[in-house]
């Protein structure tokens, strides 16, 4: 199975959300992602700072790693597109070694899956 290497940084975007709501959304998405077989996911920052100012990017960044089968990548793309589609103005940016890919509302899961395949170690080689 291909390993996600180096790690992929996943940034959640929800410009209409407060830092607290964005933190909560990241925590919920992290929980959903933990159900994807072979995926390791951690928060870049675990708790929001007391004032919550200027921290949106830090609060809403997850780091993905692990070893994924093709079926797990399909599940991961479905989870990500589902999160984006559940709210207005949501988007996810995947970043790995300077390569950025954005998933916006309406992005078909198969397109998101293609992005994830490109970020896998074997496909960047």
* pLDDT, tens only, 21-74: 888 888 899 999 999 999 999 987 656 555 545 444 456 889 998 888 878 888
Between CA 112 and CA 44, with CA 59 as vertex, the angle to 5 degrees is: 75
Q: For the whole model, what pTM was predicted?
A: 0.79
In 1-125, the DSSP E strands lie at 3-13, 39-43, 61-67, 91-96, 99-104
Instruction: Give me 118's structure tokens.
Output: 């490109």
Q: Which residue has the tokens 């291909």?
A: 2
Q: What are phi and psi of 96, to 5 degrees?
A: -150, 120
DSSP secondary structure letter of residue 16: T
* Nearest Cα to Cα of residue 66 among 75, 58, 57: 75
Range with lowest mean pLDDT among 11-25, 53-67, 89-103: 53-67
Q: How much is the average pLDDT of 81-95?
A: 87
């Amino acid at each position: 199975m291909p390993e996600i290497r180096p790690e992929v940084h996943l940034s959640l975007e929800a410009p209409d959300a407060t830092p607290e709501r964005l933190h909560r959304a990241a925590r919920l998405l992290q929980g959903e992602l933990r159900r994807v077989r072979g995926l390791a996911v951690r928060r870049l920052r675990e708790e929001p700072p007391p004032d919550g100012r200027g921290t949106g990017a830090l609060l809403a960044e997850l780091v993905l790693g692990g070893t994924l089968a093709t079926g797990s990548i399909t599940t991961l793309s479905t989870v990500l597109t589902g999160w984006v589609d559940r709210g207005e103005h949501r988007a996810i940016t995947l970043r790995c070694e300077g390569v950025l890919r954005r998933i916006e509302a309406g992005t078909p899961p198969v397109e998101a899956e293609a992005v994830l395949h490109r970020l896998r170690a074997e496909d960047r080689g």
